[in-house]
Structure 1
Amino acid sequence: MESSLDAENRNRPSEVSLSVENIGGIDETEVSLSDGVTVLSGRNATNRTSLLQGIMAALGSDHVSLKADAEEGRSVLEFGDETYHRTLTRRNATVKTDGDPYLDDPEIADLFAFLLETNEARQAVARGDDLQELIMRPVDTDAIQAEIKQYERQKRDLDEQLSELDDLEQRLPSLEQKRTQLTNEIETLQEELEEAQAELEETNVDVEERREEQSELETKLGDLRGTRADLERVRDKVETERESIEALETEREEVQERLDSLSTDDDADIDRIEAEIEMLQEEKDELTEEISQLQSTIQFNEQLLEESGSVLPTTDQGDDGAVTDQLLADSETVTCWTCGSSVAHEQIETTIEQLRTTRQERLEARTEVSSELSERRELLSEINENRSEYERTTRRLDSIDDEIERRTTRIEELTTEREELTDQIESLEAEIEELETEEYGDVLDKHKEVNQLEFELERTENERDEVEDEIESIETRLETRTELETRREDVTDELTSLRTQIDQIEADAVEAFNEHMANLLERLEYDNLDRIWIDRTTREVRDGRRTVTKSSFDLKIVRSTDDGAAYEDSIDHLSESEREVIGLVFALAGYLVHDVYETVPFMLLDSLEAIDAERIAALVEYFESSAPYLVVALLDEDAQALEGNHDVITTI
């Protein structure tokens, strides 16, 4: 099966062109880079690191330096049919960038692809920093948490709908039983009505002189039946309205309790928190800018040490290399390009170390500010959500009050109508009594009985129809259960995926590091270094007002004595070569876990001098399979140890 990297490689050019001007120590140069491994071979102070910075500039990194004696620099990368370019301009002692680079956001490449000496991943291992924070930095955990909350709301809504369907389904048996009962009652009433109508026909006295009175009597009986039906309907409506009011009052109590539990005294808090967010964001931006400036200053000073000849202003000496030769001849001092005085190597190295320490402090401060900023934003979101819920609850309470008032008014109207109908019935009954005679007494009784049965039959049939409509409605609702359950499963799966996404990235990073570390230790054959791995642990910590589970990456090192006894060691006791290898492997783990090759096809390696030539060759061969374009800066003797056909650039 074709790997993702192989699929990506098929769509990439076999060769790319790069032109660099006034970056690092380079005046101007053009090179071609082939896919696979490209080696920048040469002595120190031959602009190899500067060329790597030129690549980084075109790709979008800000960790590049403008040539000290230039006001503007440029890097252009021709990549297949596309051209990417970046311009660096010095303005008021700061360097501004412009152009159309390969990457819009270079953070992930700066961490795991541009592995120069100052690379943060390499440095973090050497210093014993928090590796978990570094590996998770490209992951937008705030966005994941927001998405989790959204899916949780969807799941709660689906759960409520499914619970409602369960309640409806439990009602079905009693409704079906009631329908059966009403159907039986209807059949009984129909039989009774047929018998009463037959008896009425039998007892009907056909007397011509009483036909007019009988006709009037039948009319009154018809009116009485209709009025009683109206009265029964009004009574049913009154009962329905009262039941609705009871349900509304119960809901009102619940809504009022919810409203009482919500606070609205948060206007001052919102203003304060928004001000704090703005202040923290400004502080974070300032720290980011300061970190960037510190990084540029560190790189410039490192460049001053490595390529001191290239940063000196042009002189009138006939021999262009005389100044450089003079500097290289004196390995203890460097001529400052600003004032021309000699500065000791040790003094610059001390300055660089102080700058690195300051930069690390600023990084830690930015992490703390970011955490506090996230906490404030979450608190503001909770307050706004509380306010929105308060407003929704208030509107619902007002709506319930309006509905109760409307239904109460309706009951009053129905009560008045009921009283009027009752008076009409009493009046009709009185009129019918006057029309009754002994001769027609039985006929009148039969008329009343038929009238009452017809009324009861109509009422029962209406009640059965209502029950059947309710059953049909419930059955229709129940037909949506499968769809709701499917949606709930999808939402639950997505929730599980989101909740485990962070854990999975961490687990993958640890697995990748441990696997590649074991493979490289076997290849590099470090004496008495048995095993190096990361142990991932979790613990409960306070994050603002919440208790959260936080992961920790603990670097474990096991050595063995001459007699074979194993013991645990720390990073501080490793050789520089061993620390460099561990830092590179950690960066490789981040590169693979975050699929950085899909974001940027280049990996850059520099400052490998602490590792011997044979191990560098094994390391480059190992890294080659992970990056489409691997560009490595090496000393001549180290470059000669590489096996295979690799492009070599010796002149920059």
Structure 2
Amino acid sequence: MSSPESVTSSITVLAENIGGIDSSEVTLEPGVNVLTGRNATNRTSFLQTIMAALGSRRSSLKGDADAGRAELEFDGKRYERYLERRNGEVVFDGDPYLEDPELADLFAFLLESNEARRAVRRGDELRELIMRPIDTDEIEADISTLEAEKRDLDDRLERLEQLDSELPGLESKKRELENEIETTTEEIADLEDELEAFDLDVEASRDRKAEIESAFADLQTARTELESIEYDLETERESHAELERERDELEGELEAFDDDDHESPDRLEGRIQELRARKRSLDTTVSELQSVIRFNEERLADDGVELDLEDHVESGEEDDGDITEQLLADDDVVCWTCGSQVGRDRIESTLERLRSLRQDQLEERSELQAQIDDLSSRRKELRERTQRRGEIETRLSAIDDELERREQRIEELETEVEQQRTRIDELESEAEAFENAEYGDVIDTHRELNRLELELEGLEDDRDDVQARIEEIEGKIEARSELEDRRETVEAELTDLRTRVDRIEENAVDAFNEHMESILSILEYRNIDRIWIDRREKTVREGRRKVTQTAFDLHIVRSTDDGATYEDTVDHLSESEREVTGLVFALAGYLVHDVYEIVPFMLLDSLEAIDSTRIADLVEYFEEHVDCLVVALLREDAESLSDEYAYVREI
């Protein structure tokens, strides 16, 4: 069948040290290729060579070789695979046709060891085999990604709905503003006409009008400047008040320090050094006491010093037996300091006093260490306080300088405010003088005209803002159709992913049942009415919980001679029937997983259990679904096949 990976040219297969092959080069053709010969003629090894070049690791290296090679060349491309024995294992390398051979191993390389065929022969669970290439974890990850995208699209569409509902209000607001603008514009035009109607044609009148306009302009400018100066003055006063608050806080913190404590870190350092010297002296004493105690304990355990008894014998003393008895007495020992014989209890008493003295020294050392730790903490605290006091004093000095500068600036601004207010009073007096003159109506008209012009400017700004918002919303709403299309696509992809496993299972069952029915009809197994797979759900335990899983049940229906039907099991199928069922199951997997799109080859082997006529029909049936079918047969089985096939009789 035609596919993206169709084979259109002859295929050259090269094998070196693969299986039982030393070296061989064979040419195959698109379509059906039949490898014929007796048993043990390297037909299976040749199929393993093709498998290796295509990417499978289920090929073997020749037993007496350390390295081998498989090569496949067709359609102007070459695929090589190298096999090498390392540390008792065969390692694969090279550039094969497939990066991942799992699908091909399961459903295209149908040798006797093929898992699909073996699963049917053994009556194993078939669903696991069909679903093995499906990465359910990846599907779940894709579902999670799409669900997140769908939530984002829903949020964006919801926001667009809200924006869409905002448009009518904005349009209404825009119309109101345009009406107000139109009304204000008409009023301005009326005032301008009114000004024109005044008798101001003479040059003097024009000069007077300019004088009036200049006076009002100066007054407005002066008021604006006053506002600016007052703002600066208020800012300076706030900064001044903030600095005063900070100064009060720092002064309070400074007063909180204990000024009566005249301890200095240097004096504490001297005291710490004295205590450390005392502690070192105690350490030495404790160490020496420990050595003395240990030495005496060891001597006491050895019953005192060893005396040379031979010296006593040579001196003629006859009481050496008594001396020996004394040395060996349980309660007396020889003092190792003076050599006299003393009671053990006296030495133990002395040792106890030494231990007590050592313990006293240890306790004193602990007390000294505690004093050292306290003084060190106090010294650290004093240094930190001294450092903090210095930081506060530095900051207070800076604050005083800053306060002085700001007070001076406040005085300057207050003076400017007074001066500006005086100037405004003068300008207002001038304006009032104009108003009391014969041009009072003109001045009133100018004042109203200026107000309306400012109002018009504000209305136009508001209208422009509303228009900009409308255009912004309309621009976003234009993207709604794209978002809705994408949401539909995501929804469809989610549905596809969520049902993908079910669809693959259904398609696999349908494919098997359809092809099995056709094959049984073609091969005419008269005592088999039907073989089909039924999908069912079963409850299984995973850890502490129960889950529902799908299972594939293989059903076989037979008929008796009197026409009665009954259901049988795989165990009761003949070897031929089991092999055909296994091959059809593999073909269903081949088609369901579109294996023909990734590898254009299918390999068949170990068909001896099927009679030659049925083999011919089976090969013809498989030929319809494969670009290049390579089948290994015994010579007698190959005789029933079409003469149009390509035959390889020697490898």
TM-score band, normalised by shorter chain = 0.5 to 0.7
SS at 1:51's partner residue? helix
**1:585 deviation in Å?**
0.7
Look up the match of 1:520: 519
1:105-144 paired onto structure 2 within 5 Å:
105-144=100-139
Q: Residues 112 and 121 of structure 1 are in contact (CA less than 8 Å); yes or no, is this contact kept in structure 2? A: yes
**1:206 deviation in Å?**
11
1:4 to 2, 5, 12: 2
**1:151 deviation in Å?**
4.3
**1:516 deviation in Å?**
0.8
1:405-484 paired onto structure 2 within 5 Å:
432=431, 436-437=435-436, 445-484=444-483
Residues 581-604 of structure 1: CA distance to partner in whole angstroms, max 9, x if unpaired? 111111111222333334333222
Q: Give the distance between the partners of 1:229 and 1:521, measured in 2 at CA.
A: 103
1:26 to 21, 40, 60: 21
Residues 358-393 of structure 1: CA distance to partner in whole angstroms, max 9, x if unpaired? xxxxxxxxxxxxxxxxxxxxxxxxxxxxxxxxxxxx
**Residues 159 and 229 of structure 1: CA distance in aligned 2, closer, same or farther (over 3 Å):** farther
SS at 1:554's partner residue? strand
**1:226 deviation in Å?**
7.6
2:83 to 88, 112, 124: 88
Residues 316-375 of structure 1: CA distance to partner in whole angstroms, max 9, x if unpaired? xxxxxxxxxxxxxxxxxxxxxxxxxxxxxxxxxxxxxxxxxxxxxxxxxxxxxxxxxxxx
Residues 35-66 of structure 1: CA distance to partner in whole angstroms, max 9, x if unpaired? 33333334433433223223323333211222
**Residues 104 and 465 of structure 1: CA distance in aligned 2, closer, same or farther (over 3 Å):** closer
> Is 1:633–2:629 an aligned residue pair?
no
Q: Residues 203 and 442 of structure 1 are in contact (CA less than 8 Å); yes or no, is this contact kept in structure 2? A: no
**Residues 176 and 649 of structure 1: CA distance in aligned 2, closer, same or farther (over 3 Å):** closer
**1:153 deviation in Å?**
4.3
Q: Residues 60 and 104 of structure 1 are in contact (CA less than 8 Å); yes or no, is this contact kept in structure 2? A: yes
> Is 1:35–2:30 an aligned residue pair?
yes
- Judge which range, 432-441 or 120-129, deviates more: 432-441
SS at 1:610's partner residue? coil
Look up the match of 1:257: none
- Please, which runs of 5 or more residues in structure 2 have no aligned partner? 228-416
What letter is aligned with 2:21?
I
**Residues 187 and 553 of structure 1: CA distance in aligned 2, closer, same or farther (over 3 Å):** same
SS at 1:61's partner residue? coil
**Residues 58 and 207 of structure 1: CA distance in aligned 2, closer, same or farther (over 3 Å):** closer
Q: Give the distance between the partners of 2:203 and 2:612, measured in 1 at CA.
A: 135
Q: Residues 225 and 452 of structure 1 are in contact (CA less than 8 Å); yes or no, is this contact kept in structure 2? A: no
Residues 247-291 of structure 1: CA distance to partner in whole angstroms, max 9, x if unpaired? xxxxxxxxxxxxxxxxxxxxxxxxxxxxxxxxxxxxxxxxxxxxx
1:188 to 183, 191, 194: 183
Look up the match of 2:93: 98
SS at 2:534's partner residue? strand
Aligned-residue CA RMSD (Å): 4.3
Residues 549-572 of structure 1: CA distance to partner in whole angstroms, max 9, x if unpaired? 865433333334444344444434
What letter is aligned with 2:112?
E
Look up the match of 1:620: 619
SS at 2:127's partner residue? helix
Q: Residues 434 and 440 of structure 2 are in contact (CA less than 8 Å); yes or no, is this contact kept in structure 1? A: no
Residues 163-196 of structure 1: CA distance to partner in whole angstroms, max 9, x if unpaired? 3333222222222211221222223223334445
Q: Residues 534 and 556 of structure 1 are in contact (CA less than 8 Å); yes or no, is this contact kept in structure 2? A: yes
Residues 460-495 of structure 1: CA distance to partner in whole angstroms, max 9, x if unpaired? 222222222322333333333344444444444555
SS at 1:4's partner residue? coil
Look up the match of 2:63: 68
- Judge which range, 502-511 or 431-440, deviates more: 431-440
Q: Give the distance between the partners of 1:431 and 1:223, measured in 2 at CA.
A: 10
**1:146 deviation in Å?**
4.2
Residues 62-98 of structure 1: CA distance to partner in whole angstroms, max 9, x if unpaired? 1122222333333333435444333322222222233
> Is 1:530–2:529 an aligned residue pair?
yes
**Residues 452 and 524 of structure 1: CA distance in aligned 2, closer, same or farther (over 3 Å):** same
Q: How many residues align?
A: 458
Q: Residues 576 and 610 of structure 2 are in contact (CA less than 8 Å); yes or no, is this contact kept in structure 1? A: yes
Look up the match of 1:571: 570
Q: Residues 225 and 451 of structure 1 are in contact (CA less than 8 Å); yes or no, is this contact kept in structure 2? A: no
SS at 1:607's partner residue? coil
> Is 1:77–2:72 an aligned residue pair?
yes
If the length of structure 2 is used for normalisation, what is the TM-score? 0.59
Q: Give the distance between the partners of 2:452 and 2:92, measured in 1 at CA.
A: 95
Of structures 1 and 2, the larger Rg is shown by 2
**Residues 431 and 477 of structure 1: CA distance in aligned 2, closer, same or farther (over 3 Å):** farther
**1:30 deviation in Å?**
4.1
Q: Give the distance between the partners of 2:547 and 2:217, measured in 1 at CA.
A: 77
1:226-237 paired onto structure 2 within 5 Å:
none
- Please, which runs of 5 or more residues in structure 1 have no aligned partner? 233-419
Q: Give the distance between the partners of 1:118 and 1:432, measured in 2 at CA.
A: 112
**Residues 430 and 54 of structure 1: CA distance in aligned 2, closer, same or farther (over 3 Å):** same
Q: Give the distance between the partners of 1:582 and 1:229, measured in 2 at CA.
A: 99
Q: Residues 434 and 443 of structure 2 are in contact (CA less than 8 Å); yes or no, is this contact kept in structure 1? A: no
